[in-house]
Structure formats: structure tokens, C-alpha cells
Structure 1
Amino acid sequence: MNIDTRIKFRHLVCFLEMARQGSLARAADVLAVSQPAMSKTLKELEELLAASLFMRSKSGVNLTEAGVAFLRYAGPSVQALRDGVNTLRGGEYAAGKVRLGVLSTVESLLVPEVVRRLHERHSALVVSVVTGPSAYLLSQLRVGDVDLVVGRMADSPEIQGLTFEHLYSESMTLVVRPDHPLLAEPLERNALEDFPLVLPLAGTTIRKFADSLFVQCGISQSRQRLETLSVTLSRRYVLSSEAIWIAPLDAVRLDLASGELVEINLGQREPGGSVGISSNASLPLSLASQWCVEVLREVGQAYREGVYP
């Protein structure tokens, strides 16, 4: 079946923005068009495709099954065209750009090393990094706004329909400042309940592993909590308070080595989640993205073998 030549770039852009915003009004604002014009464009697309793409309600719009299927191809196609146009503008044919979605679990050690090695080998490479929760980053991957997502993803429901490649496993650990009261005497696990707790955001993949560690150790979580994905905020708060941080090992590995943070030894660690690369199989990887995947595999192997960090 040939592509209907009546389907225009504007149809795809409107469809993608509606899917991204979940609201006709917000999508119209982003694209600087009127709501009637937006509605007309989407109606045209649905008629051309002979399919309903959105379910409309008072709270907004959601993709239909047909809309989800079309999204897998519309997003990457539009992004590929944009990349081609941007490459030709300015004559930067040799320059490359890779857009990474990065979870907080890997932004402290893995990604800086990957970027260092990439820049060491490619003189005209731009690495654009977006951070956030897994659900948000995977939604960006689906519509082609990022090329790859790196972090703990294997257990995320949003990974369905995408490709995941395992790099290494990473455990969780409990850390405190060096002069924390818990370190002054033999540890009683129940005492942990008396101190503020720093946890990943509820509903995130990494939070499931954090909760699992407490269950395995038979410890109730403190009612006083800070929930955040920010490594910087977590570290600063723990260093300035009596809080206990349940952290991915990558985030605190250097702090433990320098003595700035100290691990609370519970006699066991949560066995580890799978850290890896998520990609959109419906979009061929750009050369820059392929370079990035190669280096991610290289550094991932160094992790597994204990060579890095």
C-alpha cells in the first residue's frame, strides 16, 4: 500500500504534540495554532488513515490502540526528517548529535565516563542529556525526542514495545554521614526507623528495589521521608542531617571510597537491578547513536569486570 500523499508534515506534528501533551488545548498552545485548526488537522489525519487515533474525554485525550501503533512510526519519522534538515543547514555534515535520556542511577559515574570517551574519539559530537523518571524518558523515546534511554528499565511497564539491552547489575545500599549516631554503637535494625529516610520517588522502577531491600531486612520505613530522584539533593541533605539514604551504589561509590559517606552494614544488599540501554526499534540508530551504544557497552563491560570505576 502506497503512502497517501495527502498526509502532510503538519498532520504528523499535530498528532505527535497531541500525544505528548494529552490535551488538544495544550498542544495547540505549544504549536501556536488555534484549537479549531488543531482539531481540523487531526480530523483530516484520522480520515486519511481511516482510524480513530484519540479517545477524547473531559480530562483530555488518550491514544487509541491505533494511535499507539501509529505513534511508533510517526515520531521517529518526523525526528529523522528534522535531523536530516538540521544536518544540511550550516554544512555540518561530519558533526553528530546523540540525545540521551538518563536516569539518576547512572548520571554520577556511568554517563560522565561515556561522554568523556565519546568526546575523546569524536571531535564534532554533541551529547544532549535529558534527565527524569523512567516513564517520562520512555515516552520521549517513543516519539523520537531522545535516541536512547540509559538506566534501570527492565521492570518498567513502559518498556513494552521498546528494546532493552542489559549492561550490568547494580545493587542498592544504605548510607549516612560519617558521624551519624547509628555508627556509634552496635547496629540494631529497628533503630533505623527513628531517622529520616531518603528514597526514590514512589512509582519509579528504582523505588521498587529500595522498598524490596527493607522487606528483605525486615525493617519498617521511617514515616519521615524525603522522596526525590535528585542525587545532588539527596547527598546534600544526608550530609547535613541524620537522614539515611537508600541509594543506588553508582550514586555513592566515590563518596564511600573517599569516606564522605559511610555504608550501614545490614549484612546484605538488595541483589541488584538491571542497568541497560533502551531504544526504539522502529527507528534506525544514527551513526552518533551507534557510537554511543558501543561506548556504553564498553563501559558496561568494565563495570562487570570491576575495571571501572
Structure 2
Amino acid sequence: MLMENRIKFRHLQTFIEVARQKSVGKAAIILNISQPAVTKTIRELEEILGVKLFEKEGRGIRLGRIGEVFLRHAGASVASVLEGVESVQQAVTRSSPPVRIGALPTVSARIMPDAIQLFLNEKVAGDIKIVTGENSVLLEQLRKSELDLVVGRLAAPEKMSGLSFEHLYSEQVIFAVRAGHPLLSTTQLRLDDLKNYTILMPTKASVIRPFVDRFLLANGIPELPVQIETVSDSFGRAFVRSTDAVWIISTGVVSNDLRDNRMTVLPIDTRETRGAVGLTTRADSVQNASLAILSQSIRAAAEQLT
């Protein structure tokens, strides 16, 4: 049996208390167990490690050099376990703070409904707050600790300072139109044909705008005559369904509309606009149990897409 599998929590707890009190008797009183039980536990731990942890000092004992090294690790381990117990207790007793999630529109429509349902299935008592907005705004709120997690596209390197990103999946930008749109009947669609229609564009501050600009420039379209910048998925959805407008948007935002045949995608190859979608957190943040469970739920929901 591996050494780490034989060491129990009681070994560490007893060792730490004896080291703190420099006395088996005093440790026994604090731990509310007998002195022989304390002595036996320390001997078991020393036998497992194959070293002597304590040395006699007058009528008492003190840590040896190896014992001092082990104490640093044992203390951190016990503190981590106790912190985990407290976090779980908070999650199940509704005493933990709300979990605050920032989600881009593409994620709000495609990932979060399933993720929240998975989270609720765990019977965790924590409240959830979901904020949707532009990537730059959400990341700034994350930096200010106004959000605990942002789910969306990977930002540019210069905007990721102090943040950590975990990749979940990739998605691309598409040109979405209503069912029955005139361009769908065009035998050989050219990007130049877009100039005859109103175009809904992501705003300049949005994370996908650079992808869109590069794509259009690479295909010989430096400017579109009539365009409306918006990050409102509700406006975009209503406007596209009732007009001949073309919506340049991430797949996830309109995934339900595409599935239900309320919208369709123009046959334009946009594979070069693919980008990473994932979880962004503060690099120094520590997740409580509620946030950790919600993060796991988001990962599970994202796996269903692949």
C-alpha cells in the first residue's frame, strides 16, 4: 500500500497538535482523547514515514528537523481539508455568497441553460447571478471581483493580464438570415452581394469584431454601406426575422434559431473566424464549493457540444 494511502486525517491532526503543544498530555486534553491514543497515533505516523518526528527535550518533546519539514506540509493539508469542509457546508446551508457569472450572448444561449440545470440537479443551495454583456466589460468586472467567472471567447493577450483561461470548445462567426431570404436562392453567392442588404455587425468593443474585420478585408470588402452595430441578441433576432438583414454573429447566439429553422446560414466559408470559448477567472482566485460545482456543470454542458 502506498505511504500516502496509509496516512489518515487523525494522524495529521494529532501530529500538528503535539507539535504545537510540545506535549503529548496537553495535546490529548485539547483533542479530547487519551494520552496512550495520542502516543499510538504518533508512533503509527512515524512508522508509516519511516522517520522519528519528535525528539526528547528535558521533560518534554520537540520537533526534530524532519518533523519541522513535515509540519509545514501537514499544516497546509489540514487547513485545506478544513477549508473544503467549510466550503461544502456553506454550499448546502445557503450561507455561501451568490455565484456571479459573466456570459457572452453566445454562451448564454448555447451553454448556460444546460449548465444551470445540471447545477440545480446537484441540490446546491447557493444563489446564482448571470450577467450578459460585451467581453471587455465582463473582464473588467471580473478584475474588480464583481464577477467570479466569465464564460466566453478568449480575449486578446494584452487583455488577459492577471487572468487565467480554460478552453472548452471552439466556434466560428456565421452570416445568419431569416428562412426564405433572397440570398439563399442565389446560385453563386458572392460576398459583394452583401452590399445590397442591411448588415448587423458586432460592436467594435466585442471580442469577435477583429475576426469579422479581418475576414471582410481578406475577402475584398473594406466597408459595408448599411450596417448596424449591436450586441443585443433580442434586437438582432427580431430584426433579422422581420427583414432581409444579414446578421454577422457567433454560432452560439443563434444556435436555437438554426435548430428550429427560424434562421439559416448563408453558404459562406468562415472557418478562419474560429476562436476558443472557455472559462476565464482571476489567476489568484480560489473557488468555493458552489462555484466549483457550477464550473463543472459548465464543462459538462460544453462537452455535449463536441
Does residue 254 (structure 1) correspond to residue 256 (structure 2)? The answer is yes
What does residue 179 of structure 1 align with? 180
1:3-39 per-residue CA deviation (whole Å, 9 max, x = no partner) reads xxxxxxxxxxxxxxxxxxxxxxxxxxxxxxxxxxxxx
Shift of 1:93: 4.7
Q: Specify the code of the residue in structure 2 equivalent to 1:293.
A: S
CA distance in 2, matches of 1:151, 1:236: 23
Q: 2:206 aligns with which of 185, 204, 207?
A: 204
Instruction: For residue 174 of structure 1, give the secondary structure of its aligned residue in structure 2.
Output: strand
- Paired residues, number: 217
What does residue 217 of structure 1 align with? 219
Q: Specify the code of the residue in structure 2 equivalent to 1:274.
A: A
Shift of 1:264: 0.6
Instruction: For residue 113 of structure 2, give the secondary structure of its aligned residue in structure 1.
Output: helix
What does residue 126 of structure 2 align with? 125
- If you compute each CA radius of gyration, which structure gives the higher value, 1 or 2? 2
Q: Specify the code of the residue in structure 2 equivalent to 1:137.
A: L
1:191-220 per-residue CA deviation (whole Å, 9 max, x = no partner) reads 111111111111321111222332343334
The two structures have a TM-score, normalised by structure 1, of 0.65
Query: Is 1:134–1:153's contact at 8 Å kept on the other side of the alignment?
Result: no
What does residue 9 of structure 1 align with? none
What does residue 110 of structure 1 align with? 111
Q: Specify the code of the residue in structure 2 equivalent to 1:227.
A: E
1:84-136 per-residue CA deviation (whole Å, 9 max, x = no partner) reads 9xx79xx9456663110111221111111111110111242321011221222
The worse-fitting range, judged by mean Cα deviation, of 120-129 and 242-251 is: 120-129
Change (3 A) 1:197 1:93: closer
Query: Is 1:193–1:220's contact at 8 Å kept on the other side of the alignment?
Result: no
Query: Is 1:150–1:276's contact at 8 Å kept on the other side of the alignment?
Result: yes
What does residue 28 of structure 2 align with? none
Report matched runs for 1:1-309 at 5 Å.
92-93=93-94, 97-155=98-156, 157-186=158-187, 187-303=189-305, 305=306
Q: Specify the code of the residue in structure 2 equivalent to 1:111.
A: M
1:43-84 per-residue CA deviation (whole Å, 9 max, x = no partner) reads xxxxxxxxxxxxxxxxxxxxxxxxxxxxxxxxxxxxxxxxx9
Query: Is 1:170–1:272's contact at 8 Å kept on the other side of the alignment?
Result: yes
CA distance in 2, matches of 1:214, 1:174: 12
CA distance in 2, matches of 1:96, 1:119: 16
Query: Is 1:175–1:261's contact at 8 Å kept on the other side of the alignment?
Result: yes
| Structure 1 ranges of 4+ moved more than 4 A | 91-96
CA distance in 2, matches of 1:165, 1:274: 9
Instruction: For residue 125 of structure 1, give the secondary structure of its aligned residue in structure 2.
Output: coil
1:118-162 per-residue CA deviation (whole Å, 9 max, x = no partner) reads 011124232101122122211111121111011013326322111
Q: Specify the code of the residue in structure 1 equivalent to 2:190.
A: E
Query: Is 1:197–1:226's contact at 8 Å kept on the other side of the alignment?
Result: yes
| Structure 1 unaligned blocks of 5 or more | 1-83
Change (3 A) 1:135 1:115: same
The two structures have a TM-score, normalised by structure 2, of 0.65
Q: Specify the code of the residue in structure 2 equivalent to 1:128.
A: K
CA distance in 1, matches of 2:239, 2:194: 17
Q: Specify the code of the residue in structure 2 equivalent to 1:147.
A: D
Shift of 1:300: 2.3
Change (3 A) 1:253 1:244: same
What does residue 35 of structure 1 align with? none
Instruction: For residue 304 of structure 2, give the secondary structure of its aligned residue in structure 1.
Output: helix
Q: Specify the code of the residue in structure 2 equivalent to 1:127.
A: I
